[in-house]
Chains A and B, each alone.
Chain A
């Protein structure tokens, strides 16, 4: 039922199969490509071709003195031994295990609250929580950057007004949390919307039965609603995992305000940006990106496998 199915693909055909109807084969065997083809063609141009090109680049080195030369797997070896790169991976991994659960948890709770029909002004809240999603990362970071200011920003205003001294959100120890806050703020509404729309299509009959059996609200949520939207939860988690590993806009814009807290290798994505754009090491940057892509893929698949095992 519902949003759960497609995530299992790769292994099982979605929907059609789960509904117990046979999907057409035979005569119409390749007709599906008529529909999927256009997407895949553009996809090949903007995703696959550059990836293949990156792979090609990763076997070379281009020097200011000496030009381009073939170096085999040297770049990969360097990537595996690169402390800055793995420090960046560690940083986004930490970000991932803290920020993603907080954000998705909050989004889920808001979605459940909206779905419960127990609050006043439901449509106001739905649009209010969703609104930050409309704000471009550039603008969001600009606004939060101001709020974080300890001298003239809101944090500073607070310190002055109450004679307290809040810790500097842009100090090296807090900056990751501050970025987490910005990302949470930006995407909580987006995830809420995904969960909420999944909840809306959970058939009432499922929990009517449970209610008749005398199950409490909390029990209905954990036993009926959440399992029913597991597919949406898993897909949101996967996209959040990928998003965390690709963290770039927020740190790169915030770096202007906190140049000493956000290094040029703060996240893997930032590191590849520095390497290829400031450091003209496009070959090595391509290598690092490919390694990062593989790491991300492994974790995304792990999330998918784990998320789906329970369902089966």
Chain B
């Protein structure tokens, strides 16, 4: 049940617009009495001085440093950092806690693609009353759109995952294969590589909802649309879907993709020994290379994501998450203070040092960030590539308001394309059917 780990989300805006009309995202009145009261910086400072304790549910490793810095700065505040599971596991726990009305943390890490679902479930505090609405210009638009709608802000962006192509230079050089700049070239490279070395593959793929949606996103697709509770799912005729399936079906048919699942030990092995030659993923990947694929240091490089049209300059987001303040949490003021510290002030630098990829515009354009050299990538200034990618992401993308569940059943249907005669197109069609049924069951009007 793991690892839909890092998926980004734009377009929750639209979803929350939908939700607002149902008073789901918007209203923060009711339960906690004074919860819609505006809180000033002075109030926060007073709260920090007075002290207290908060619980943070997050799996992001760099937060450990942030917590210890924060506690040093505000000695009266005790932060309990709990890893309650990764991605879906944590959402499950969060949902259970909210439903039970006890054990809800004060702060929770939520991936961009899941923010909408929790906002809709009235679980998240609107941070605009703390003045978070003024941070708009401080974050790159992708992540910001995922957490904010109109005047409401449901989380503060923690990191982002503009996509890039990581490639094993040693392997490609050995077989004299050029770094592909389009997906058609990528297909050619896949053929050439596998012909030259039957053990080597251009990439691994066993079906990953986050990756597939990111690819469709880059190809200009908008398969998911929301308006109020009306939701449209189009995974059959959408132009992004068609572009993606055309190339990817060939990679599958010709057995050019290693049947290795992301994040498995075989995956790490393949990245290390050159049998998996490229990896198209979010810019948060370098930290994983350093810690998990240590032995291949120097072999890998980063490049711009291959394009669907020659000469294009379009990218996509994959992964990334935000920190939200839970409505049922006990110390919301402290929770927000911590959130702002981690994602909008001193904590950001500590996290960057730990290898996280920023969502803050100031850092994305700062010379020191762009000039950082990566010894792992042979001294390459990879952040230049990532920062450029971040600026090339299409803005009209949106996820489903029940994307967490949809992604969790992705392999039931689309997965068949990887292990049987079912085509990718048919698999996506079946995924659509299951998602539509679920959405309608949950009270949305899907494809009606």
Contacts and interface: CB of A to CB of B under 8 A. Distances in A.
Contacts of B3: 256
B206 A259 contact: yes
A259 B269 contact: no
Interface string B252-281: 000000111101111001100001000000
B419 A264 contact: no
Interface in A274-296: 274, 277-281
Contacts of B412: 263-265
Interface in B185-222: 206-207
B420 interface: yes
Contacts of A252: 1
B404 interface: yes
Interface size on B, as a range, is 35 or more
A12 interface: no
Contacts of B92: 277-278
Interface string A141-175: 00000100111110000000000000010011000
A65 B22 contact: yes
A63 B443 contact: yes
A131 interface: no
B261 to A, nearest CB: 6
A75 B284 CA distance: 43
Nearest to B404: A278
Interface in B371-424: 401-402, 404-405, 408-409, 411-412, 415-416, 418-420
A88 B95 CA distance: 26
A281 B408 CA distance: 14
Contacts of B22: 65
Given A64-B120, A65-B443, A279-B438, A260 B415 contact: yes
Nearest to A263: B412
B135 to A, nearest CB: 28
A161 to B, nearest CB: 15
Interface string A43-79: 0000000000000000000011110000000000000
Nearest to B208: A259
B416 A64 contact: no
Nearest to B415: A260
B88 interface: yes
A210 interface: no
Nearest to A265: B412
A261 interface: yes
A255 interface: yes
A151 B270 CA distance: 9
28 contacts: A63-B441, A63-B442, A64-B120, A64-B121, A64-B402, A64-B443, A65-B120, A146-B265, A151-B259, A151-B266, A151-B270, A151-B275, A168-B259, A172-B420, A252-B1, A257-B261, A257-B264, A258-B261, A260-B207, A263-B411, A264-B411, A264-B412, A277-B1, A278-B1, A278-B88, A278-B405, A279-B408, A281-B441
Given A152-B265, A279-B405, 11 more contacts: A63-B442, A64-B121, A150-B259, A168-B259, A252-B1, A256-B261, A259-B261, A260-B416, A264-B409, A277-B95, A279-B438
